[in-house]
Structure 1
């Protein structure tokens, strides 16, 4: 049999594919369970936006036709929402698709991308697939008084050199839930060379209630090298439809749009996203549920004597004081799916998505039983 590994692009053989959260159906099929709850992939526990769901269902009649490749209606609505021109927007099959476009446009052998140690797992995959070097900055230490495990912007800036083409900054960050204040992030952007593209990954921004949290979109006119990504997968509850978007100056969007796959966003996704933008009632309910859930989970961890990484996303990462993968596996047997994060170099932690009050309590009860056993 031919060994095709001899013919791969540089770096591919050493890549480990992204491992998503375990599907409910798969676990129940394997263990014969029912009533499983999934708190592994940072999905909205309240389901999809009702307005988005209705629009998606109504769009099904037209799926014999290719979708509008320009995404005209959705771009127009997003442009009006953010005070941009439609030419400043690119749509993707999730915001990760947009990040991949950036990597394929600007990264190549001889170049490098800079990101934080606990950054999103796709950053090194996209960088390596493009043939570029990953430059991983140490994060702030676990004992840092304000932001343990957070982005160390000074360490990231120190890794930028003449070969750096892209810097990835997640705010809030996944899987740590840590965040950067407006002042420090703006200074970081000001000090970077203008030829370095900065991807500000704001997948969880709609959940944030912190008063000093930055709005990257407001800085687009000031920083022509800034690209902000957002998604409908999280608070809007449209993860299964795969739709996100990027915002930047029109010249930058034009370049990355040249590598975009045609018809990369499907018809129901376009319809659902457009409608969901009007669903403020659902967004506020989702935000309130998340805020209360973060408090509930933190209180539960405290009662068990566990430490956790303070988070402003829709998830929280807890130190279970033992092998996190083993704890994850024991929780599976109880019909509770969370996320081990050893692949993020956090072997004694698990990440749990904020669920409903009932789901959160079921997880806490199951966790206590596992730890006591």
Structure 2
């Protein structure tokens, strides 16, 4: 078979360990998963009620235009219905963009480390990848702009950035948009937008017509708690949406996902509660890091990246054997750090206690090795 070399060179996405797998491996009754930045409180009660009463035919294809969801999101975001595109998660929209704009002979600019699907899809399309290292966990916007040339097709910006949680403020984002050539698409991936609380956080959904080359991505997988239903959306001017639509698979967002997302977006009280509790949870980790003298990045997302100054896989394994699934920084570009999803107050307290045990044991081992 004539496989593309790019396909053979790539590895499939590696999800975090499942609860069932860890239970089986370590004979544990209780597992707490804090690896994939899921909402520990699930989804809105209104969504749960709808799903419990769902009685539509599963034999019928979903609405390919996502009409009801489109109306609800347009109203919530303050955009026109024709300025939206929906995907099987925002991952699919990243794929649509890559298929539509990237090709051999063209290049794409992104931060490193950042969300790996930008790179993954660029490799599949044979485009040159220009990765610009983060500075202090943040995008080096100046160097990213300098890396753009006449063959650049897409600039990827992740804000808040995964895995560091650092965001791009309004002034810096506007400076980028003012500087980027009009024929380069700027993709602003805001998967964690609803968790962010910074005073100078931009809301670029208001800018999609001021700037003709920006698309803003958001998702229902994070704060809305609908990760398993896979619903994401993009906001851009009508011309960008029209050009992207042919790359969208028909019936790509399932009926359950459309209906649940429509109800979820209208329950902003649930969103605000999750946002507040998440901020309180981050405070628990900040206090732990200060007490243990551990470096961390202040996060605007629902996760925190903590540097244990140890092999990340070692820390990961210590927690795993005690029933906590986290994300090792080894494959994220931070080999001595863990990315931990913010859980409930109780979950945070429990894992922090175990992390204290790890730090104490590690320090005692270092002291013993020094004596020897």
Per the TM superposition, whether the score is higher than 0.5 is yes
> Is the 8 Å Cα contact of residues 55 and 268 (structure 1) preserved in structure 2?
no
Deviation at 1:131, TM superposition (A): 1.3
> Is the 8 Å Cα contact of residues 118 and 344 (structure 1) preserved in structure 2?
yes
Q: Which of 357, 365, 368 matches 1:369?
A: 357
Q: Does 1:191 align with 2:179?
A: yes
Deviation at 1:172, TM superposition (A): 0.5
Q: Which of 226, 232, 237 matches 2:214?
A: 226
Partner of 1:247: 235
Structure 1 residue runs of 4 or more that deviate by more than 6 Å after TM superposition: none
- What are the within-5 Å matches in structure 2 for residues 80-95 of structure 1? 80-95=75-90
Q: Does 1:332 align with 2:327?
A: no
Give the whole-Å Cα distance in 2 for the aligned partners of 1:287 and 1:65.
36
Deviation at 1:139, TM superposition (A): 1.3
Name the count of aligned residue pairs. 361
Alignment deviations for residues 83-122 of structure 1 (CA, whole Å, 9 cap, x no partner) = 2221111111111111111011101111111100121011
Unaligned runs of 5+ in 2: 362-372
Partner of 2:190: 202
Alignment deviations for residues 226-269 of structure 1 (CA, whole Å, 9 cap, x no partner) = 00000001111111111110010111111111011111111110
Partner of 1:169: 157
Partner of 1:64: 59
Unaligned runs of 5+ in 1: 141-147
Q: CA RMSD in A?
A: 1.2
Partner of 1:273: 261
351-360 vs 76-85, which deviates more?
A: 76-85
- What are the within-5 Å matches in structure 2 for residues 27-176 of structure 1? 27-140=22-135, 148-176=136-164
Give the whole-Å Cα distance in 2 for the aligned partners of 1:276 and 1:321.
40
Deviation at 1:34, TM superposition (A): 1.4
Alignment deviations for residues 43-96 of structure 1 (CA, whole Å, 9 cap, x no partner) = 111111112222233335322211111101111111122222211111111111
Give the whole-Å Cα distance in 2 for the aligned partners of 1:227 and 1:297.
33
Give the whole-Å Cα distance in 2 for the aligned partners of 1:340 and 1:114.
25
Give the whole-Å Cα distance in 2 for the aligned partners of 1:57 and 1:133.
47
Alignment deviations for residues 181-219 of structure 1 (CA, whole Å, 9 cap, x no partner) = 100110111100000001100110111111100111011
Give the whole-Å Cα distance in 1 for the aligned partners of 2:125 and 2:189.
19
Partner of 2:292: 304
Partner of 1:182: 170
Q: Helix, strand or coil for the counterpart of 1:11?
A: helix
Give the whole-Å Cα distance in 2 for the aligned partners of 1:211 and 1:305.
28
Partner of 2:365: none
> Is the 8 Å Cα contact of residues 119 and 174 (structure 1) preserved in structure 2?
yes
Give the whole-Å Cα distance in 1 for the aligned partners of 2:185 and 2:171.
19
Partner of 1:143: none
Q: Helix, strand or coil for the counterpart of 2:162?
A: coil
Partner of 1:145: none
Partner of 2:368: none
Partner of 2:366: none
Give the whole-Å Cα distance in 1 for the aligned partners of 2:7 and 2:359.
38
Partner of 2:370: none
> Is the 8 Å Cα contact of residues 72 and 266 (structure 2) preserved in structure 1?
no
